[in-house]
Amino acid sequence: MNLLSVITFLPILFALVVWFLPNEKHVRPVSLGLSIVHFFVSIVLLVKFDISSAGLQFVEQTPWVQSAGISYFLGVDGISIWLVILTTFLTPITILGGWTSIQKKTRGFHVSIFVLATTMIGTFLAMDAILFYVFFEASLIPMYFIIGIWGGKNKIYAATKFFIYTMLGSVFMLLSIITLMVLAEGQLGQMSSSLLDFYKLDLNFLPGQFLSTQTLLFFGFALAFAIKVPLFPFHTWLPDAHVQAPTPGSVILAGVMLKMGTYGLLRFCLPLFPEATAEWGWIFLALGVVGIIYGALVAMVQPDMKKLVAYSSVSHMGYVVMGLFTLNAHGLTGSIFQMLSHGISTGALFLLVGMIYERTHSREIKEYGGLAVVAPIFSIFFIIVTLSSIAVPMTNGFVGEYLILMGTFMVNKAYAILAVTGVVLGACYMLWMVKKVFFGPPGKLIKDFQGKNLDLNKTEVMTLLPVVVLIFWMGLFPGHFIKYTKASVDHMINAKQGYYLKIEGRQKKVATIKYKSTRVTR
Amino acid sequence: MNLSFDAVDIKYILPLIILFTVSLVPVLVKVFNKNKEPGKIYNFLTPMLGALIAAGASAGVGAEFLSKGISSKLLFSGALVMDGVSVLAGILVSLCLGFTIVLAKESPSINKNQLSEAVFLLMNAAVGMLTVLWANNLLVMFVGIEMMSLCLYILVAMSMELKLSKEAALKYFVLGSFASAILVYGIAFIYGAAGTVYLPELITQINATLLSNGYFLLGLSFVLFGLAFKVSLFPFYSWTPDVYQGSSTPLVAFMATGVKLVAFVALLRLIATQVLQFQEAAVFLQVLQWMAVVTILVGNIAALRQDNLKRMLAYSSVAHSGYVLIGLLAVSSSDGQVLGASSVLFYLFSYVIMTFGAFSFLSFLEKSHESALMISDLRGMASRRPYIALSFSVLLLSLAGIPPTVGFFGKFYLFSAAISEGFYWVVAWGVIGSVISVYFYLRPLVVMFMSDEQGVDVEPSRLGTQNIIFITAILVLVIGFVSNPFYLHIQSAIKTIF
Amino acid sequence: MLSSELLHIGLNHYLGLSAVIFVIGMLTVLLRRNLIVMLMGVELMLNAVNITFVAFSSFNQNMNGQVMVFFVMAIAAAEAAVGLALAVTIFKHYKEIDISAFEQLKS
Amino acid sequence: MEAAIVFYGLSFFMTVLSLGVLFNPNPIMSALYLVLTMIGVSLVFFMLDAGFLAGVQLIVYAGAVLVLFVMVIMLFDLKREVYTFSRGFFTRLLKVFTGVVFLIILVKSFFLVPETKELLNSSTQMTTKNLAGLLFTEYIFVFELLGLLLLAVAIGAVALSRIKGGTHAE
Amino acid sequence: MNDSFLFAVLLLAPIFGFLFNGLRFKNKNYKLAGAVASVAIGVSFICSVVLVIKLVAMPEASRAIHVHFYNWIEVAGFNANAAFVVDQISAIMILVITGVGLLIHIFSIGYMSHDDRPSKYFAYLNLFIFNMLLLVLGDNLLIMFVGWEGVGLCSYLLIGFWFTDQEKAAAGMKAFIVNRIGDAGFLLGIFFLYVQFSTIEFSSLNTLATDLAASGPLGWSHPLVLACICLFVGACGKSAQIPLYVWLPDAMAGPTPVSALIHAATMVTAGVYMIVRLSFVYMAAPQVMTIIAVVGGLTAFFAATIGMTQWDIKKILAYSTVSQLGYMFLGVGVGAFMPAMFHLMTHAFFKALMFLGSGSVIHAMGEEQDIRKMGALKKAMPITSATFTLGWLAIIGVPGFSGFFSKDEILWFTYASTQGSKWLWVVGVLGAGMTAFYMTRLMCLVFWGKSRVPEGTHPHESPASMTFPLIVLGVLSVVGGWIGIPHVISAILPGHPPNILGHWLEPALATANLITTSAVVEWSLMGISVSVVAISGYFAYTAYIVKTDIPEKCVKAFPRLHGLVLNKYLIDELYFGRIINPLIDISKGLWVYVDVNFVDKLTYIASDFVKSIGRLFGSLQNGNLQQYAMYIAIGVVVMLSFILMG
């Protein structure tokens, strides 16, 4: 059994364990324990990872649907490794985040979380386009249930919107994948959906024309990922989904699921369609910039805390997309780093908002005020996470944002200058919220709680502590994280035209699998 | 053409003979039993066994072919053809029949006083279906379709429910006969133009001259339209929702799966004559493309506003016909034939499984013959019947084409076949349609899992139906995960028809 | 020219006749409210088909067409039987044979 | 020449008669018009040198089937209808228009290829014997299937007439 | 001792203090908290001293101790190391920061004795020192930026320390956001420099810039010039220059020692420090230096005018700080890097002194800050009064006191540098005059004249922990200037005391060319400025002690001008009216009209469109059988016609 398969499918096993657990009371602790086990298993990956190689590692490849050249093909490289770890790291945290907030159907909830973990990890590890698509789409289902069952008042609307919106994008990706497979059949002699084979394809590109194969395919993929990211103007599902989702759902959604979009851009759009990326990348740079500013501006006037954080995600993910399309090492590294740090800090923000919502049952910013007096520990955590979110140096947020901005600056000064305003605006909306919620005289809500203990309990502190540690770790020693991605990023920059991925390590059956030709030559 | 036939041929049509013979058992028992309804043994077990044996006989034929290395065999001086498709589809039809009998036994909407007649008619409809599957000749195809349809008309009308079922039967009958007339008119023209109605002979006859012959064009169009009616393609789909809604649910399960499977196989055989590969037939391809696109959109969009679960699934089955047609488009080009036909057959098989499961779920929930199951009735299913709800969700997600279910792979094969033949825009509309469809497929899920109020109480006694739901749901997942062997079998079966 | 063509009765004349009857049959189904008359329309259509078969058969010197007519006739009869049985059933329950009374299933 | 006159006369009458089926508000009259049309069809069969079929047509259609129709109409005691045609003036117009266009298309498409064939009377191939031969060799399977079909329909029709349905059946 | 170890202790001692106090932030033991914090800073101070001694021992040409801890960010050629340097410039800074910081910590023990959360306060203060040390010690721009943002953060936290007051919280936020605007500029500056030179290390930057400048004057669009402008924007934000000075007066909402430490002595001078650090780079962009000089001069002037009209003791000091920072920028703008550093140092002494003094006063007056309610505090608070007087003498530039030397040096450079201008000198002198006016006014209203202290308030001298720092700083305010006595003055002094500071800094700094003038000119300029100060101070004394109706008359004479100045030229209102409120309106517009009613609406429109098509199909499906048959017929006809005719 390959390590990657273990990491991917362990949660499914856990889901079964939880499902058949005789006593519903044990569900929470058991899930927590299992998810922590999972996290440590994934750490093994980190330990064994060879940072000097840009190739795929721990590769596992077995034919799955030979007739269409689809294989069960998992592999990890510097681009995906941290996202896997992020997922396994956030899973226990989400379980802790739902410790008290999820009251009904706990069993189902934890099963959903585990299934979701499998699909997300699978998305990051899949090196076969169809396998990727399968995981990508399948991840919608558990998330749909998480929002729809444990969500807020308007949960069904939000869940459905989330599902359909995402699906709308991904079906065009499916179309593009199939087209690539067909092209692979023409060019490589056999149908294949392996990414490695896709990289070998020679895709027709006509400069300046929209209707060329490469451009259309590029946009087919990019649309799916842009919706997932979500890039302006495809972002409107996000605030709804976040506001309605339960706290753990929001954490996973913001923490990991959004990264599936940017990861896809990085894995598919950039290396597969180099010319189209070069020609049309400016659109994404521009949309990234627009997203940064727009998200920040709109976040500034949100009356609801969760909505504010949701729009801040739009802004932050705008940075990531912008960084990706700089096509230089700084931007790419920054983007990968920012994905991680956004996952951690925004996840933590949602966690925090959820914790306070549980106590006061309100997220209206104007009803708060003076919370710092009654919940000092909570405030400290919140402010630390806020600082990470607004990219104060020495927190994780800074490194990514800085590298992205610098990368952008090296490509296009105007965009970078515009994007830098996001730094200011980010501070504006976050600090505005902090001011309104924590500072000032006690607000309407807090008056009711005067004298009661609103502060965090030990479980919650234990939930947040790893996040805070990571925030500073990543901020102070980004090198520990960047070194894993370095080789891959450099390779991607150097091999822009004709990108390829080597398979590292055991070469036994993997690299070349001959599929039976499906065509009958008449 | 060999004008005589061999007695050995009878061996190959054994499934048909078995079905017919067994179908007589309940009726005869009833007749000899002073018109008293026979018991479970004759009304249920024997027909079930018959269906299974028929399926086994089909499989036996297949096994014999495989062992002898024969790809296909003509029977009865070329009236019938036994090949991979006949065998596979035959097995599926027989199994559908068996499942339908289970549903019928437990459903409240089938009159238990006439169960024997109902079973008789069901089995004879299956006989008709097998005939259509095996037909190598447009006339045989027509007679088979008629046999199947006439039995079904009567079955629809025989429902316990009084008003709607009669209306449904009326509509089905009138429109069905109307379409049959068009179909047979088309056969007449094809006969007139080509001088034959044998499909293998047609293959040799078809050429550019024939394709500019007005008779032939008329004939081909009419035959296509007639079959399009049976599979409910736009603009011939109007009967589908009404008839499905009015009929008893087990019967709908049978119609939505069996009839569609059979009619599509007929279409497949027609198109496999490579008639559409000629430049002159390009216009047909265009028409078919439009039909596919509009059918998908109409089916999915109309399903959006349905609150009646059965009607919603009816519209969804319309949309699925559109998807299958996309695959058939691929069959119409010379190098996409095998790929397209295999994808069509795979999709049909997956469609049969998931649709049958979905209708079984309806049958499971129906309280009385008059209860129209609304989506809102599913409230709280998840807490009362978690496994059933989960299975239904799996089926619905599969219908929506969400991976990793078989529905996704079915669509995947279809789309890849179509794309490799360059039907990009059709596929684009197809995927847009499937996005729209997600909305209504999710509605039952929403009601089942996300609302806490209670809906209808479930009668707990329908074990058979329940098991069918589980079996189909598991199949949907299993074939989803390991679609390859199934696909390969289908492909090798498909290769026998070309 | 024209008259000679008109006077020479060929295949297309018979087919034209069958087409006329087919369309009239079709219109009967489309227009008449009475279920039984609609059935008659279907019969008309099938008869038109039969004319086509026979015309082709005779002009092509191909006996198969006539065999098919035989089958079509049988099936037409069967359809008539089923249709009338249905009509009887419906009439028995509702005392109504006007199909516009059956419009519950819609949308 | 005579053939043309006969054909046109017959065609005219058949058209008028079938229009009678379409337009006569009294179903029984429609049925009678149908009988006459059927007879016309059998005459056409005669003209096409298909004597056996003409006879079958007369017996099966004009005889059996139409008797069935008339019987049922009698059974229902159907009178002249108040509402003969389907609702909606424009719908009716559209239907008629569709029919006319359909006819035009059909007839036009007949002439897409120049007509070459001649009707050969009393050819040796086209005999009833041959018909029977075909029926019991080449078409044996369909023939037998037809038997099953008729049986099924017969039983089905009986069953249908006996249905009770609803709760009072139990 | 090992250099790395020294650096580590220097930097980590405050962090230790921060963690110690931060982790027990609910503890109310102010003495323990203060002691730990002060000891931490004391350790840092000792380390600084050791480092400076080491530096002194090194040969003059290569006085710099570099320390490299680890690679912080390292991506594709971009290296931002966690590397630190002590050289001549940062040596002064660390001494000031840890020295003055230590004093202020000690002062805070007394000052915060009545507060609820002293541990938190000291934690923040220690964190600030840490960040400030990062800022000045950083060997590259990014480490400096880390400190730069860090001090901004601490400033935010400390300004909003009493966060239950809405206004104080708002002031903190304002400070942070205005600083962020500057930081954005700073970032862009880093980018420009990196793009130009592919490095962000100070030493390399300075060398490379010098080389570049040698090849000829650079145009406005040259990255280096743009970088200088952007970095100056950053400096404006941090050092409260026009147009980003608005946050500093509001920042007085924080505890007074904070104002002394952050908003007078250390953080606000970071901008000056940064430009001095990059002096060679700036010398390569003379046009930017002109901008800096003009902005500095204007800030010095306008802030002083506002200072003349304020009634809040801390606000006056705040505007004075802005004004003095303006001098520093004027200095760096004209190439007077050394004098700017000199003024930075002396200003740290006397302004910290005055802030602490004001803190002492406020403490004594029971949190009263309005100088109209004070007066004659000399008697009640002798030590405070005396030390404050020293500060006053220093700031107005009475010869012999520290402020005199540094300010005069700047004014001299303004006049004599090739970068300078006589007009700027005039502005500077006018500013100096006004400084003398409002500072004298402050003295008159607070310490001298008649008591206007309201009934019930009994001002008293502060405890020793507060007065001790005052005394130390008072002494420093006097003697601090003696290390940088200009050449002309030292020439007439006995023993010709050398310009220690000048010599010290010379190797590390760029120097502007001076127009060769005679000592007479220098003396006369000095005379002019001193006499302007004297006249102005006398006038203030007259107006507020002798003839107290003069101010009112003046106000009546120019009511609109006074109103404008009193309201700080309505700059805040301008910002709110023209930038912030419109921005919020735009955002609301974006949200409501673009997000909800356009982008999201599109999805609704799409779904409504689909639904309406659904309705259309629903109405076609009307249940009528013949209708369906008609569809079939029409379908057949249409498709047939397409097939046969098309």
Does C have 3 or more CB contacts under 8 Å with A? no
Query: What does chain A come to in residues?
Result: 522
Chain D contact set for B121 (CB, 8 A): 152, 155-156, 159
In whole angstroms, give the CA distance from residue E436 to residue E422. Answer: 21
Instruction: Report the amino acid identity of residue B361.
Output: F
**Which residues of chain B lie closer than 8 angstroms to A179, CB-CB?**
419, 424
* B139 CA: distance to closest CA in chain E (Å): 21
pLDDT digits (tens, 9 = 90+) for E452-503: 888 777 888 888 888 888 999 899 888 888 888 887 788 787 778 888 888 8
* Half-sphere exposure of residue E304: CA atoms within 13 angstroms, side-chain side: 28
Give tens-digit pLDDT for E597-638.
888 888 889 889 988 998 888 888 888 888 899 999 999 999
Angle between the N-to-C axes of helices B84-106 and B260-271, in degrees from 0 to 180, rounded to the nearest 10: 170
**Tokens in use for E531?**
């006499």
Tell how strand E64-75 and strand E78-87 pair up. Answer: antiparallel
Q: In 10 A of CB E618, how many CB atoms?
A: 18
- Touching E: A residues 267-326, CB under 8 Å: 294, 297-298, 300-302
In a domain, B2, yes or no: no
Residue of E nearest to B439 (CA): E607
Residue A364 structural domain = 3-494
- Contact between chains at A141 and B337 (C-beta distance less than 8 A): no
DSSP E253-311: GS-HHHHHIIIIISGGGHHHHHHHHTHHHHHT-HHHHHHHHHHHHHHHHHHHHHHTT--
Q: Which chains lie within 8 Å of chain E at 3 or more CB pairs, if any?
A: A, B, C, D
End-to-end CA distance of chain D: 69
- B3 part of a folded domain: no
Using a CB-CB cut-off of 8 Å, the residues of chain D touching E640 are: 102, 105, 109
A57-65 vs E78-87, strand pairing mode: unpaired
CB < 8 Å to C31, chain E: 626
Q: What is the pTM of this model?
A: 0.92
Instruction: Determine, yes or no, domain membership for E296.
Output: no
Taking only the tens place, the pLDDT of each residue in E181-223 is 999 999 999 999 998 888 888 888 888 888 888 887 888 888 8
- State which of E138, E170, E195 marks the end of a domain: E138
Residue A67 has pLDDT above 90, yes or no: no
Judge whether A516 lies within some domain. no
Residues 6+ apart with CB under 8 A from B320: B260, B299, B351, B355, B399
The whole-angstrom separation of Cα A221 and Cα E317 is 60
User: Rounded to whole angstroms, how far apart are CA atoms A90 and A256?
Assistant: 8
Q: How many domains, chain C? A: 1
**Integer Cα distance of B167 and B163 in angstroms:** 6
Task: Please tell me whether residues E536 and E548 are part of one structural domain.
Answer: yes
**Cβ atoms of A78 and A489 closer than 8 Å:** yes
- Domain membership of residue E511 as a residue range: 310-566
For residue E220, tell me if it sits in a domain. Answer: yes
Residue E299 lies inside a defined structural domain of this protein: no
What totals of helices (H) and strands (E) does chain B contain, helices first?
A: 23, 2
Q: Tokens at residue E3, please?
A: 């250099």
Q: Residue D43 is encoded by which pair of tokens?
A: 């005459």
Q: CA of D168, closest CA in chain E: separation in Å?
A: 28
Q: Does the CB of D102 have a partner CB in chain E at under 8 Å?
A: yes
B133 within 8 A of B262, measured Cβ to Cβ: yes
Alpha-carbon distance E126 to E22, whole Å?
10
Q: Which residues contact E627 (CB under 8 A, 6 or more apart)?
A: B238, D86, D91, E620
E459 DSSP 8-state letter: -
What's the mean per-residue pLDDT of chain A? 88
* Contact: D145, B144; criterion CB under 8 Å: yes
- Of B106, B111, B161, the C-alpha closest to B460 is B106
| Alpha carbons A443 and A369: distance in angstroms, whole number | 4
Q: Would you call E409 helix, strand, or coil by DSSP?
A: helix
- Shortest distance between the Cα of D116 and any Cα of chain E, in A, equals 21
Domain count, chain B: 1
The domain tally of chain A equals: 1
DSSP assignments along chain D, one per residue: -HHHHHHHHHHHHHHHHHHHHHH-SSHHHHHHHHHHHHHHHHHHHHHTT-HHHHHHIIIIIIIIIHHHHHHHHHHHT--S-S--B-S-HHHHHHHHHHHHHHHHHHHHHHTTS-----PPTT-SSS-HHHHHHHHHTTTHHHHHHHHHHHHHHHHHHHHHHH---SGGG-
pLDDT value of position B291 = 92
- Is the pLDDT at E161 greater than 70? The verdict is yes
**C-alpha closest to that of A155 among E594, B452, B304, B440:** B452
Give B-chain residues touching D148 at CB under 8 angstroms: 20, 124, 127, 147
Q: Which residue of B has its CA nearest to A179?
A: B419
3-state DSSP call for residue B402? coil
Q: Collect all residues with Cβ–Cβ distance below 8 Å to A123 and sequence separation of at least 6.
A: A132, A135, A136, A139, A260, A263
* CA B344/CA A416 separation, integer angstroms: 52
* Contact B123/D at CB under 8 A: no
E193: closest CA among E230, E218, E219? E230
Same domain, E485 and E349: yes
Chains that touch D (3 or more CB pairs under 8 A): B, C, E
Of how many residues is chain B composed? 498
Helices (H) and strands (E) in chain A, counts: 23, 2
Chain segment B65-116, per-residue pLDDT in tens: 888 888 888 888 888 888 888 899 999 999 999 999 999 988 888 888 888 8
> Hey, how many other C-beta atoms are within 10 angstroms of the C-beta on A424?
20
* B477–chain C nearest CA distance, Å: 33
Residues of E with CB under 8 A from a CB of D: 624, 626-627, 630, 633-634, 636-637, 640-641, 644-645
Residue B4 domain-assigned (yes or no): no
With an 8 Å Cβ cutoff, are C45 and B178 in contact? yes
What is the tens place of the pLDDT at every residue in B174-219? 999 999 999 999 999 999 888 888 888 888 888 877 777 888 888 9
pLDDT of A510 higher than 50 = no
CA dist., res. E343 & res. B106, Å (int): 98
CATH of the domain at C68: 1.10.287.3510
> Is E613 in a helix, a strand, or coil?
helix
Q: How many Cβ contacts (< 8 angstroms) between chains C and D? A: 232
Instruction: Assess E618–C contact: CB distance below 8 Å, yes or no.
Output: yes
Name A223's Cβ contacts closer than 8 Å, sequence gap at least 6: A169, A172, A173, A234
Distance, in Å, from the CA atom of B126 to the CA atom of B144, rounded to the nearest integer, reads 10
pLDDT of residue E309: 85
Q: Which residues are CB-neighbours of E32 under 8 A, at least 6 positions away?
A: none
State CA E574 to chain mean position distance. Answer: 21
> How high is the pLDDT of residue B65?
86
Residue where a domain stops, chosen among E138, E153, E184: E138
Instruction: Please indicate whether, in this complex, the C-beta atoms of B157 and C56 are within 8 angstroms of each other.
Output: no
CA A8 to chain centre: 16
Whether D122 has a pLDDT exceeding 80, the answer reads: no
Over 50: is that where the pLDDT of A509 sits?
no
pLDDT digits (tens, 9 = 90+) for B284-330: 888 999 999 999 999 999 998 889 999 999 999 999 999 999 999 88
pLDDT, position E1: 60
Quick one: pLDDT at residue D120?
62
Smallest Cβ–Cβ distance between B188 and the set C49, C86, C104 belongs to C49
In a domain, E294, yes or no: no
Of B398, B401, B240, B378, the C-alpha closest to B312 is B240
- How many beta carbons lie within 10 A of that of residue B380, not counting itself? 18
pLDDT in tens, B437-477: 999 999 898 888 887 766 666 656 788 899 999 999 999 99
Q: How many separate domains does chain E show?
A: 4
Among residues 421-440 of chain B, which lie with CB inside 8 Å of chain E?
436
Q: Which sign, positive or negative, has the C-alpha torsion E382, E387, E392, E397?
A: positive
Name residues whose C-beta falls within 8 Å of residue E191's C-beta, 6 or more positions apart in sequence: A405, A406, A409, A410, A416, E227
Cα–Cα distance measured from residue B174 to residue B157, given in angstroms and rounded to the nearest whole number: 13
- For residue E635, the chain B residue with the least C-alpha distance is B235
CA of A420, closest CA in chain E: separation in Å?
A: 6
- What percent helix, strand, coil does chain B show, rounded to 5? 80, 5, 20
Mean pLDDT, chain E, integer: 87
Closest-CA residue of B relative to A181 is B416
pLDDT band at B2; cut points 50, 70, 90? very low
d(C-alpha A352, C-alpha A375), whole Å:
12
Q: Is C45 on the interface with B (CB under 8 A)?
A: yes
* Pair (E52, E144) in one structural domain: no
Q: Are residues E517 and E384 in the same domain?
A: yes
Look at residues A476, A102, C59, B263 and name the one whose alpha carbon lies nearest to residue E73.
A476
d(CA E67, CA A512): 52
* DSSP string over B114-140: GHHHHHHHHHHHHHHHHHHHHB-BHHH
**Nearest CA distance, C28 vs chain E (angstrom):** 10
**Chain A: partners with 3+ C-beta pairs within 8 Å:** B, E
Residue B25, judged by CB atoms within 10 A of its CB (0-12, 13-18, 19+), counts as buried
Token reading at B178: 């109307």
Helices E625-645 and D89-110: crossing angle in degrees, nearest 10, is 30
Q: Decide if E641 and D95 are in contact by the 8 Å CB cutoff.
A: no
For an interface test with E, give the residue of A439, A450, A453 to mutate (most E CBs within 10 A): A439
- What sign results for the dihedral spanned by CA atoms E75, E77, E80, E83? positive
Q: Tell me the per-residue pLDDT of A230-240, one tens digit each, with 9 for 90 and over.
A: 888 888 899 88
* Residue C19 lies in domain: 2-99
Q: Are E278 and E371 found together in one domain? A: no
Per the model's pLDDT, the better-predicted residue between E457 and E157 turns out to be: E157
Q: Which residue is closest to E176 within chain A, CA to CA? A: A427
CB nearest to D140's CB, from B76, B128, B155: B76
Q: Is residue A275 part of a domain?
A: yes
Q: Is the ipTM of this complex over 0.95?
A: no
Pick the CATH number of D2-121 from 1.20.120.1200, 1.20.58.220, 3.40.50.300, 1.10.1840.10: 1.20.120.1200
Confidence band (pLDDT; 50, 70, 90) for E245?
confident
Which of these, D98, B206, B281, D99, lies nearest to E644 by C-alpha position? B281
Q: Do the beta carbons of residue E300 and residue E331 sit within 8 Å? A: no
Residues of D in contact with B13 (CB under 8 A): 141
Question: Given CB atoms, is E624 within the 8 Å cutoff of chain C?
Answer: yes
> Is residue A519 included in any domain, yes or no?
no
